[in-house]
């Protein structure tokens, strides 16, 4: 096995792409070990997520943090309790569904930023921003995470391509805030530098748009394949409060009259396991070193709307329960 830390920026950029703002739905919006802003948080939704994009939905920043810890350990062990500072930025192009449940697509720009200052990590994922308030320890194999997260959800807050769904009316932009908690561990399967992580994100609408909440558990795994390449995998689910389904998936009598779609109230019956997502991300160092310099990153996420969300007419009649997100971009690690 080679002895080399996982890339810091690669994972970050992939996460951002997969968690594009268009889908950032659950965790803000949760979510894959993919740097571009993957997720619905939902993978947009955060969460490539999540994550968990929905905001986080699909890929978590844990891999980046583990990579940083590995680099710190190689550089000096525990001689300094605080790991070194870093900054990673990424930009890319993402292909996402037009709305959560759509069978048409749109291409949007994506980006992300990750930083660590005096041991505290700050990261964006899709349309969310989070701060880890548990200070990292230099060279530690296990890293606990806890902190606030803020997400912006804009699902159907702009023109929708489907003319029938458009007749239901646009939704406003929701602002969601909450907490995330998690743990990651280095040196699990392939080498001392791979990482397995788990996290959970809770978001509550504070803008009065949908007035509900999203809970997103996520697991992810990432490993360097060589000095030049990295791969990450993630899986997450989004559990939504009743108000979320009522706002985005139900159809009232007025909406049914305008659109010709049937009245539907099934998504607001109770809290719902509304979506499951799986993501993959890859990164290749143009500079020849995953720890710093320029990287090409890419990711893909498959999501499946479930239960009463999948049965909504905007999905079952006008859209598709199968949701795909893909992105390609560049990242730079300082």
Check pLDDT > 90 for residue 200: yes
d(CA 215, CA 223): 27
| Calculated CA dihedral for residues 97, 103, 107, 112, nearest 10 degrees | 20
- Between 317 and 287, where is the model more confident? 317
Distance CA(277)–CA(71), nearest Å, equals 30
Q: Give the span between the Cα atoms of 33 and 103, in whole angstroms.
A: 25
Nearest to 215 by CA among 24, 4, 20, 57: 57
Residues 6+ apart with CB under 8 A from 276: 235, 236, 237, 238, 303, 304, 306
Checking if the pLDDT of 288 tops 70, the result is yes
Q: Count of H helices and E strands in the chain?
A: 7, 12
Cα–Cα distance measured from residue 27 to residue 199, given in angstroms and rounded to the nearest whole number: 11
CB 58, CB 305: distance < 8 Å? no
Predicted pLDDT at 219: 97
DSSP 139: T
Residue 189 CA to its chain's centroid (Å): 24
Burial status of residue 208 (CB atoms within 10 A of its CB: 0-12, 13-18, 19 or more): exposed
SS3 213: strand
Q: What is the pLDDT of residue 80?
A: 62
Chain Cα centroid distance, residue 265: 28
The average confidence (pLDDT) of the chain is 80
Taking a C-beta distance cutoff of 8 angstroms, is the pair 301, 58 a contact? yes
Q: What is the rounded distance in angstroms from the CA atom of residue 24 to the CA atom of residue 42?
A: 4
Least trusted range by pLDDT, from 4-13, 78-87, 322-331? 4-13
- Please name each of the domains of the chain with its CATH number: 8-154+173-240+268-310+321-333 (2.40.160.40)
Average pLDDT of the segment spanning 90-117: 91
DSSP string, 232-258: EEEEEEEEE-HHHHHHHT-B-HHHHHH
Q: pTM for the complete prediction? A: 0.79
- Compute CA distances 12 → 1, 123, 197, whole Å: 24, 8, 15
Give 171's DSSP letter: P
The pLDDT assigned to 16 comes to 37
What pLDDT does 44 receive? 34
pLDDT, tens digit, for every residue of 222-267?
999 888 899 999 999 999 999 999 999 999 999 999 999 999 999 9
Between 81 and 174, name the one with better pLDDT: 174
Answer yes or no: is pLDDT of 31 > 60. no
Q: Has residue 316 got a pLDDT over 70?
A: yes
**Reported confidence tier of residue 55, pLDDT bands at 50, 70, 90:** very low
pLDDT score at 7: 34
CA angle 114/119/125 to nearest 5° reads 25
Range list of β-strands (E), the chain: 86-97, 105-117, 120-125, 128-132, 142-153, 174-186, 195-205, 213-224, 229-240, 272-285, 293-305, 322-333
The three-state secondary structure class of 76 is helix
């Amino acid at each position: 096995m080679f002895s080399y830390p996982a890339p810091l920026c690669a994972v970050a950029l992939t996460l951002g792409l997969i968690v594009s703002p268009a889908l950032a739905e659950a965790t803000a919006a949760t979510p894959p070990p993919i740097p571009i802003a993957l997720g619905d948080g939902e993978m947009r939704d955060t969460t490539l997520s999540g994550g968990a994009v929905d905001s986080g939905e699909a890929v978590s920043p844990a891999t980046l943090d583990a990579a940083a810890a590995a680099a710190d350990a190689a550089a000096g062990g525990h001689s300094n309790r605080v790991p070194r500072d870093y900054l990673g930025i990424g930009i890319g192009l993402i292909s996402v569904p037009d709305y959560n449940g759509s069978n048409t697509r749109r291409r949007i720009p994506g980006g992300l930023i990750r930083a660590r200052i005096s041991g505290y990590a700050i990261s964006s994922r899709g349309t969310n921003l989070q701060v880890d308030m548990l200070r990292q320890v230099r060279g530690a194999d296990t890293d606990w995470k806890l902190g606030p997260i803020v997400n912006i959800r804009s699902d159907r807050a702009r023109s929708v391509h489907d003319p029938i769904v458009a007749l239901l009316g646009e939704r406003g932009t929701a602002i969601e805030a909450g907490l995330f908690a998690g743990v990651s561990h280095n040196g699990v399967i392939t080498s001392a530098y791979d990482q397995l992580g788990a996290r959970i994100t809770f978001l509550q609408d504070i803008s009065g748009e949908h007035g509900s909440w999203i809970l997103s558990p996520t697991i992810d795994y990432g490993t360097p394949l060589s000095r030049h390449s990295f791969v990450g995998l993630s899986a997450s689910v989004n559990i939504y409060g009743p108000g979320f389904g009522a706002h985005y998936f139900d159809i009232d009598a007025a909406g049914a009259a305008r659109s010709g779609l049937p009245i539907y109230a099934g998504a607001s019956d109770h809290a719902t396991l509304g979506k499951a997502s799986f993501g993959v991300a890859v990164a290749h160092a143009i500079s020849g070193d995953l720890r710093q310099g320029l990287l090409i990153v890419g990711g893909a996420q498959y999501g499946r709307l479930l239960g009463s969300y999948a049965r909504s007419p905007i999905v079952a009649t006008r859209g598709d329960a199968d949701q795909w997100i893909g992105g390609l971009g560049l990242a730079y690690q300082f």
